[in-house]
Structure 1
């Protein structure tokens, strides 16, 4: 969080430390401010519900699903035989001397062209389904990331609103203490600056929340201003599966499956281009009627192109090159996924330890230091700057805690891209204070 939040937090915590003078009844915030009333009115939305809405209505996902339907049509077309041709030829224009020929031609595909074409269409359909699977996986991870970005913005609005309320009460308290001669007028000026800063921080937080909500709702096709209340998932500090186990799952990840399907598709194209090297036969059957001699004759023939110049050698060379390129891209994708998995795993492990350490050790210690500073200030043993320093330290640690918490969920969401367990499977409850 920006350092300007520290000044805001100082005024909040200072006002909370002086309930007798400021007539403040608000309770101190928990490590994550989740129990206070959200300023954004709207229906509640859990992470699972956000993912479900996106999977049901995302335009890009619908487009990927239509690619599968298109591939189904291409597979049907690939299995069809060539249509026969009917031709009529008349020789001469004078009745009694002209000749009329009616014939039927049928192309006979040789070299396994039809089976190669069907195999290519099936590989393209599998590739379209693989693209759809990757799109669903990426959408799930992207929505999870956007959800926690919006959730963080929502929490900052809650804190900023509470800070503004308490800062206003702190200003009243400072005025009373100055009037009573207990503190210097400078304290009143500091309280006024803190209140003005809190007002600006609230406006900035509300703007950030509007942007984050708009980004999240765009995943299910909404373009208007979203009016939702996001629910903080339950804090999950369960150990992440071992890296070796995740690497084994990587072989079945949607991205790697898609890369393998791309190789199979290009190899099927090689088969089609090889089959095209074999010329097709055209069978001709017909009837020729000669008016001059007054009889009809059966016409039977075969037609075959001579592969003297065009043997489809250029297309075959290109398809062989594309197949080799697909195999190289498969290896590059495997390395990229392994690197991404390792990075996400390390971030998940680090953020897990950070959250645990802050929640169990650092936050309680910082709270005790702050409480001691407040007690000493009320007893006249410490000055305001001592309390302010303790407040800044506590706010900084709490900010780091929230950041580590959201980093944990974003890292787990990234692991979901690589075949890890669904990051939203058990995130249904709020974090306990």
Structure 2
């Protein structure tokens, strides 16, 4: 659908309200220290003042930021694994510990990982929340700062293309070698712009600035989405580590009990080996989970622009339920509300404004020169006026007009491509969302209760002598595995919801669009060529 120039300007005007949201980001500018104080940032960068000027010129009301809150609900409590092997059995004389020496190389993620202190780190005495991570990322992400700078460039170019030319003043002397007849003239010369070219220049760069502001807002969504996805991944890994630590204690008791049974002549070597295998599998899962958590935290630091940021246990909840989503209706709303799509329509508006500007280019400006002086040959004053215009005979700007028509077509196809891309990304996210929802529903209502009941029945059957010790171990392993898989499903649902809230905009460190334009239209205005 082709948007008219007025509609495009209206679409662009909505974007200018974003300037007040980006003020805190622009303060950081291109500073190399992400922890500068507010006063230092203001002294080092004038970006905020520039965008405030842009906002004042446009005079647009801002749209409220899309609520990025998540329907997390209350996290279902997963039954902890704290089964004693048998209620009436004697306490073990000595606890068996089978911890691999290599495990000491992996610091527990429940304690801060030491890193060099950098600048003014936030106080994290109670752990770090999602809001704190987002705040750090929005202030320090380099791609956001890069787009903030490109927005300032667009504002500067817009101001430049509307400025009028400086007048020219000069002196002219004639017949200076013939004393008594020499003539002296002072003059002032000015070029007068016709066909409202400067205002049309402003329209072109105004749409460019609107598109850059929308790209800046889209980048903010990309960073927030990336941070939210990693936050919930780390939160799920923390939850899994808690479960692993609880089950590890049970597995250690199982090894110790198997040894006692063999010493008493009731068990076999197989029972001991099976218990050790289960314990080793738990230890391996623990080490792998710690490594995953450390990697996710490094990703968070990189996206936040503070790779040296110290680790702290995260605070939050994972979603345990979700509702049915109308994906077709959501796709329509997603496209119309996406800042990525709004930027594309602002570029369509720019293309139409550029066509209108190029069509008036052949209309010549008028150069006027006015002079006054004295003629000593007649002992009288003299006045001189000169007017000139270029004749648009051979150059009628047809090439630029044709290019402007082609740019309209290209901008429209780019908007269509972005629309299709949003719908395609939403289709992928809908699959992730629906599969995670189905998994959570099945685990919480059937699989986890069945695993809990199976473990209880296995314990009762073992006490009655109906099953062997290995069956107990298998029931415990099943219960342990299903709990971890349930947490994985919760993390997947949280990630899918984060993408939906962020208009499927991800890639907080991808290369950004610098389409800030240039001041070439002003040169074209006064060269008349």
Report the secondary structure of 1:394's partner residue: helix
Gap runs ≥5 in structure 2? 1-79, 96-107, 113-123, 506-529
Structure 1: gaps spanning 5 or more residues: 1-11, 26-36, 421-433
- Using the TM superposition, give the Cα deviation of residue 133 of structure 1 relative to its aligned residue in structure 2, in angstroms: 1.8
Aligned residues: 398
Out of 482, 486, 495, the residue aligned to residue 401 of structure 1 is 486
1:84 lines up with 2:155 in the alignment:
no
Deviation at 1:379, TM superposition (A): 3.0
State the alpha-carbon separation in 1 of the partners of residues 249 and 292 from structure 2: 20
The answer on 1:347 being equivalent to 2:432 is: yes
1:197, CA displacement in angstroms?
4.3
Cα displacement string for residues 240-290 of structure 1 (whole angstroms, at most 9, x for unaligned residues): 553344234221222221221121122222222223222211111113544
Does the CA contact (< 8 Å) of 1:168 and 1:195 recur in 2? yes
2:515 is aligned to: none
1:125 to 190, 209, 217: 209
Aligned to 2:104: none
Match in the other structure for 2:105: none
Please state how far the C-alpha of 1:114 moved relative to its aligned partner: 0.9
> Superposed, which structure 2 residues align to 1:282-301 within 5 Å?
282-301=367-386
Which residue does the alignment assign to 2:421?
Answer: 336
Shift of 1:108: 1.1
Secondary structure at the counterpart of residue 437 of structure 2: helix
> Aligned partners of 1:245, 1:351: CA distance in 2, in Å?
21
Q: How far 1:192 moved relative to its partner?
A: 3.6
Q: CA deviation at 1:225?
A: 5.0
Match of 1:221 in 2: 305
Structure-2 residue corresponding to 1:172: 256
Match of 2:447 in 1: 362
Equivalent in the alignment of 1:39: 110
Q: Specify the alignment match of 2:230 in structure 1.
A: 146
| Equivalent position of 2:366 in the other structure | 281
Against the structure 1 CA distance between its residues 179 and 213, is the aligned structure 2 distance closer, same or farther, given a 3 Å change threshold?
Answer: same
Q: 2:356 aligns with which of 271, 289, 292?
A: 271
User: Which position in structure 1 is the counterpart of 2:146?
Assistant: 63
CA gap of 1:113–1:17, structure 2 versus 1, over 3 A, is farther
Q: CA offsets, 1:336-395, max 9 Å, x none?
A: 222322332343233223212210122101221222223323433223443344344334
User: CA deviation digits over 1:26-75, x for unaligned, max 9?
Assistant: xxxxxxxxxxx972346412223322332343332233233333333333
Distance 1:111 1:203, change over 3 A: same
Q: In structure 2, what is the equivalent of residue 212 of structure 1? A: 296
The CA deviation at 1:145 is: 0.7
What are the superposed Cα offsets for residues 71-124 of structure 1, whole Å, 9 maximum, x if unpaired?
Answer: 333333233212111233344653725544332111111122111111112111
User: How many angstroms does 1:200 deviate by?
Assistant: 3.9
Contact 2:318/2:491, CA 8 A, preserved across alignment: no
3-state SS of paired residue (1:74):
helix
1:308 is matched with 393
- 1:317 equivalenced with 2:402 (yes/no): yes
Contact 1:249/1:419 (8 A) holds in 2: no
For residue 418 of structure 1, the aligned residue among 487, 490, 503 is 503
Matches within 5 A, 1:225-240: 226-233=310-317, 235=319, 237-240=321-324
Q: In structure 1, what is the Cα distance between the partners aligned to 2:152 and 2:466? A: 76
In 1: Cα distance, 2:316 partner to 2:400 partner: 56
* Aligned equivalent of 1:34: none
Instruction: Say whether the 8 Å CA contact 1:210–1:225 is kept in structure 2.
Output: no
Q: Is the 8 A contact 1:79 1:117 kept in 2?
A: yes
Distance 1:213 1:137 in 2: 20
Please report how far the alpha carbon of residue 160 of structure 1 lies from its aligned counterpart in structure 2 after TM superposition. 3.8
Secondary structure of residue in 2 paired with 1:229: coil
After superposition, the Cα gap between the structure-2 partners of 1:166 and 1:373, relative to the gap in structure 1 and judged at 3 Å, is closer
Alignment counterpart, residue 113 of structure 1, candidates 174, 186, 197: 197
Give the whole-Å Cα distance in 2 for the aligned partners of 1:339 and 1:419.
10
Q: Please report the TM-score for the alignment, with normalisation by the length of structure 2.
A: 0.67
Write the deviation string for residues 155-199 of structure 1: whole angstroms up to 9, x where unpaired.
333344444444444333332222222211233334344444444
